[in-house]
Structure 1
Amino acid sequence: MQTRIIDHPLAASRLSIMRDERTDNAGFRAALADLGTMLIYEASRDLEVEKFPLTTPVATTEGTRLQDPPIIVPVIRAGLGMVDPALSMIPDAQVGFIGLARNEETHEPVPYLEALPHDLTGRTVFVVDPMLATGGSLLHAIRLLADRGATDITAVCMVSAQQGVDALANSGLPVKLVTATVDPELNEDAYIVPGLGDAGDRLYGPRNIDF
């Protein structure tokens, strides 16, 4: 599996804001939007482009546009925070949705929503989720995409645990990973260490839904 770690001073500064326990919801959302934009920029580096004739105010030249914009698929709920940054960079992208909650006792994903095109054959898919911990939720999402024919899937995650990276690499699924950092471990509650806590809670406040 190809893993691209975005080692850039601006990415590191935004990640530090997100890690800081003193950062409030508004500050966290702003830093996540900035970092999300950077990661989508890097994830798009190898997308196919096409040329077209273009007239500037002074001459005729050649323009460049994406040949086939990717489908953006957030893993709800934390992944919703990465949709606007993705669309700011790729405004003509389609968006699908996969809803997964975490069972706090088993740490396993609990699916509750699936809104995707039936056929993803030949399409490029960016699945976005701020956190890659055990890999359970992301693997579930990627299997759903692969079952619909997707063979070009990029997972865009802000913080990844080594355990989750290894799970993706060993899955045999057609996935690449773009991330800002790989943290070394998980704690007994399967949270990434040092991590940044629960990304969904820090984006939107504590959830009140029991699964």
Structure 2
Amino acid sequence: MTDHLTIVDHPLVQHKLTLMRDQTTSTAVFRQLLREISQLLAYEITRNLPMTTQTIDTPLQPMEAPVLEGKKLALISILRAGNGLLDGVLELIPSARVGFVGLYRDEVTLQPVQYYFKVPENLEDRLVIAVDPMLATGNSSAAAIDLLKNAGATNIRFLCLLAAPEGVARMKEAHPDVPIVTASLDEKLNEKGYIVPGLGDAGDRMFGTK
């Protein structure tokens, strides 16, 4: 995780992403695909977790076996759309601690407004993975990372489904120490701040609110 941006080009990730982009995909299928693709992205973002060993007994003999080292990692959902990614990652890492950052984007200024913040203790001792399907302007994501750093987090990674070049640049400027893992770097933002070609509003498509 040394590069600032990692694009996961695995065939299953790309295939599922195409299905999610299709406007004819139903809410139920969209939600299921998001759960599936989040597990594949989580596999990539946790690739180099610190390891140690412990002594166990297999049915045949004792051995020194690899296990994760340190405190349970923290998954932080940037509400509300982050919950779709959170569910899939939790299936892969069920022991993770979970927190929530509530931000909404002012439709006029496009700036983030905070309305909720609840995170696990001892963030300074944990790997913190923030999840949000869309990295668009990057303003909300950068604001969420600011809040996490203020709460003590020092080892943070950002997981998203789609990213726009503007959002990646904004995050790199604000938080160059936070690597980003995504399924696609799309073309641009439109005048409303939506990722193009994108997949529309991830929250609306996930929760059927449009």
Q: Deviations over 1:81-140 (max 9, x none)?
A: 112211111111100110111222222212111002464223210000000000011001
Alignment of 1:29-178 (within 5 A): 29-68=31-70, 69-117=72-120, 119-178=122-181
Q: Normalising by the residue count of structure 2, what TM-score does the alignment of the two structures yield?
A: 0.94
| Cα pair distance change 1:156/1:174, threshold 3 Å | same
Secondary structure of residue in 2 paired with 1:175? coil
For 2:209 and 2:92, the matched residues in 1 are separated by: 29
Contact 1:143 1:173 in 2 (8 A): no
Structure 1: which 5+ runs fail to align? none
Instruction: Give the aligned partner of residue 193 of structure 1.
Output: 196
For 2:115 and 2:58, the matched residues in 1 are separated by: 49
Secondary structure of residue in 1 paired with 2:198? coil
Q: What is the RMSD computed on CA atoms of the aligned residues?
A: 1.4
For residue 62 of structure 1, report the CA deviation from its aligned partner. Answer: 2.6
Q: Normalising by the residue count of structure 1, what TM-score does the alignment of the two structures yield?
A: 0.93
Corresponding letter in the other structure for 2:12? L
Contact 2:74 2:123 in 1 (8 A): no
For 1:118 and 1:66, the matched residues in 2 are separated by: 19
Contact 1:14 1:35 in 2 (8 A): yes
For residue 173 of structure 1, report the CA deviation from its aligned partner. Answer: 4.9
For residue 70 of structure 1, report the CA deviation from its aligned partner. Answer: 1.4
Contact 2:97 2:120 in 1 (8 A): no
Q: Deviations over 1:18-57 (max 9, x none)?
A: 1010001011011101110011111001110111112222
The alignment of Structure 1 onto Structure 2 pairs a total of residues equal to 207
Secondary structure of residue in 1 paired with 2:125? coil
Pairing 1:21–2:26 present: no
